[in-house]
Structure 1
Amino acid sequence: MKYRVAQIIPYFGKWPAWINLYFYSCGKNPIVDFIFYTDCPLPKTQYKNTIFHQCTYNEYCNLISKKLNINYTCSKPYKLTDLKPFIGLIHEDELKDYDFWGMGDIDLVYGNLNLIINDDMLEKYDVITTHNYHIAGHCCFCRNNDYYRNLCYKIKNWKQIILNDTPMSIDELNWSDCVCPHAKTIRRFQKYIFSPLKIDFFKVLDTLNPIVHKKIHLHEYWTSLQPKVNESWLYFPQENKILDFQFRELPYLHFLFFKKTHWLKTDLYWKDGFYKLDENINRYKTIQIDYSQIIGIL
């Protein structure tokens, strides 16, 4: 591939139950280097494109402080989600040989990322993400240039926001509106014109985004759906492919609503013992993921 792409993820605490599945799926996508800063134990199996820097949370906070010229002392590592828009700047030196830098989460399993990360897409777009209504903080790639590295500084009151211990989702709110400057106008059009006419918001977005955000790939890939009874997603490890319950191929599956989360009130979420795979992910022909379990089929 012509372009070099890296995704940097700081993660501190304890790896989740599905981490071997996640790392395996990273390894099946060599078009992206996945770079982790963590205090978690290194996985037994590592791949050429999974790169680990072990450090303490305090050491990483010191890096943030130095690069952003602030005193970053937030007590909870989860607050790092609000630092996603600053990743290109914090890790500028490390990213100097990459054409695109990305932000992401680890509560997912990748399928074929070549669906969205390929030379044609990277030539055409400066930003690639997988929602059409805002930037997806769990998977977004930006061109590695001065504009996108420094766009985080355009977030109003950015210092006060990132120094506040409370997570504020600024990647998908404040920063998203900086990346997509016409998003607020589209939302106003929807509220006052299209919604009274019963026109679906996603249809409005799919029509207007390519016109007003020409260099930003805002496309809904349905990676974060809410699982229901009798719905399952299939991951094929050898083929590096994910199909949803409607047999649509996905670039990845986001586990947000499979977990217990304050974003959704439901009893359909993973309970203890839901993860039923062993360490050798490659031995499974198919892996089935639904609201109750992740299970392998030989």
Structure 2
Amino acid sequence: MRAFDKIILITCWYGEYPWYLPYYLHSCSYNSNIDFIIITDNTDEVPNLPENVKIILKSLPEIISSTSEKLNFNINIDYPYKLCDFKPAYGFMFPELIKGYDFWGHCDLDIIYGDIRSFFTSELLENYDYLSVRHDYTTGCFGLYRNIDLMNNYFQKSKDYKKVFSESKHYCFDECSFAWDYLVDGSSIFDIETEIESFTHLMKQAELEKTVRTYFDFILMEGFEGHLKFEKGKIIYRNKYEAVMYHLFWLKKKFKPTTWPKKIPETYYISSTRIYFK
């Protein structure tokens, strides 16, 4: 039997922790054979921090300085959300964190994980260098990269990466330069006029040229589905289908609790408007 590939997932978060952090951490605890890092400037104590989650204190000026030095030009991160543009570069930016791992990834905190290893098996990982959790574009909420020089530096193949990294404007470089609706409707990224050459452009071109072994599959849940439950480390839809994760992108616009739950049970439910316990 093939040994598990070592995986580390990196999140950068600046400012006050969100209400959904406990759910994120709770789901991380069920993925004990994967390591998670949260890079932040928040010094608040985080209760119930799983053993496989590490918090690293690092200021934005520190990240700007070290990355600018590595790239030999001044990058611009005027506000934390701008970090989204840099996600495909995390392996390049934080080499000390990914050392010794077979795969590194970027992810967001507005995620409740299912059983990650049941989707990203060692047999699957053996055959791919980049993995997305959607079929149509490179996902910023979660992406996996083989820890090799090719993938750690691939972002530099975009003709626009210096423009993206040096300007304060957010360009959605990690995904598709805001072309989601066209891609969801079935258009090719190469038939859409976009402001910059995004990471979706790079990976879809690499797929055509066979320079990178890419994996695109719709295996997450997001939107207004409802009928979801978290059950002992699994995300289950209508008691029938399993997903690798639930992305709270839309739910968090409606559901805004003001307190953290004292304890999250092994099983809870996610409707289109809230998370609730029975």
TM-score normalised to structure 1 length:
0.78
Find the aligned partners of 1:276 and 1:93 in 2 and give their Cα distance.
35
Contact persistence 2:82–2:168 (CA under 8 A): yes
Q: Which residue of 2 aligns with 1:151?
A: 154
Q: Which residue of 2 aligns with 1:219?
A: 217
* Aligned residue runs from structure 1 range 251-270, under 5 A: 251-260=244-253, 269-270=254-255
**1:104: how far off?**
0.9
Say which SS state the counterpart of residue 181 (structure 1) adopts: helix
* Aligned residue runs from structure 1 range 1-298, under 5 A: 1-40=3-42, 41-173=44-176, 174-181=198-205, 215-224=213-222, 226-227=223-224, 231-236=226-231, 239-245=232-238, 247-260=240-253, 269-270=254-255, 272-273=256-257, 278-281=261-264, 284-297=265-278
* Structural RMSD (CA): 2.2
**1:295: how far off?**
1.2
Find the aligned partners of 2:38 and 2:63 in 1 and give their Cα distance.
11
Find the aligned partners of 1:182 and 1:64 in 2 and give their Cα distance.
25
Aligned letter for 1:232? H
**1:56: how far off?**
2.1
Say which SS state the counterpart of residue 103 (structure 1) adopts: strand
287 and 246 in structure 1: CA distance in 2 versus 1, 3 angstrom threshold: closer
Between the aligned residues of both structures, percent identity stands at: 24
Contact persistence 2:251–2:274 (CA under 8 A): no
Q: Which runs of 5+ in 1 are unaligned?
A: 186-210, 261-268
**1:212: how far off?**
6.7
Say which SS state the counterpart of residue 81 (structure 1) adopts: helix
Contact persistence 2:22–2:260 (CA under 8 A): no
**1:24: how far off?**
1.2
Aligned letter for 1:179? M
* TM-superposition CA deviations, 1:261-280 (whole Å, max 9, x none): xxxxxxxx22x43x776232
Find the aligned partners of 2:75 and 2:137 in 1 and give their Cα distance.
27
Contact persistence 2:20–2:109 (CA under 8 A): no
Aligned letter for 2:204? C
Q: Which residue of 2 aligns with 1:188?
A: none
Number of aligned residue pairs = 254
128 and 94 in structure 1: CA distance in 2 versus 1, 3 angstrom threshold: same
Query: Max radius of gyration: which structure?
Result: 1
Aligned letter for 1:227? F
Contact persistence 2:158–2:199 (CA under 8 A): yes
120 and 166 in structure 1: CA distance in 2 versus 1, 3 angstrom threshold: same
Say which SS state the counterpart of residue 178 (structure 1) adopts: helix
1 or 2 for the larger relative contact order (CA 8 Å, sep ≥6)?
2
**1:235: how far off?**
0.6
Find the aligned partners of 1:48 and 1:126 in 2 and give their Cα distance.
27
**1:291: how far off?**
2.6
* TM-superposition CA deviations, 1:168-220 (whole Å, max 9, x none): 1111121122122167x8xxxxxxxxxxxxxxxxxxxxxxxxx9798222111
Contact persistence 1:235–1:241 (CA under 8 A): yes
Q: Which runs of 5+ in 2 are unaligned?
A: 177-197
**1:245: how far off?**
3.6
Contact persistence 1:82–1:167 (CA under 8 A): yes
TM-score normalised to structure 2 length:
0.84
Larger deviation: 83-92 or 56-65?
Answer: 56-65
56 and 213 in structure 1: CA distance in 2 versus 1, 3 angstrom threshold: closer
Find the aligned partners of 1:98 and 1:212 in 2 and give their Cα distance.
24
* TM-superposition CA deviations, 1:116-153 (whole Å, max 9, x none): 22211111211222101111111110111111011111
Find the aligned partners of 2:228 and 2:52 in 1 and give their Cα distance.
25
Find the aligned partners of 1:73 and 1:42 in 2 and give their Cα distance.
29
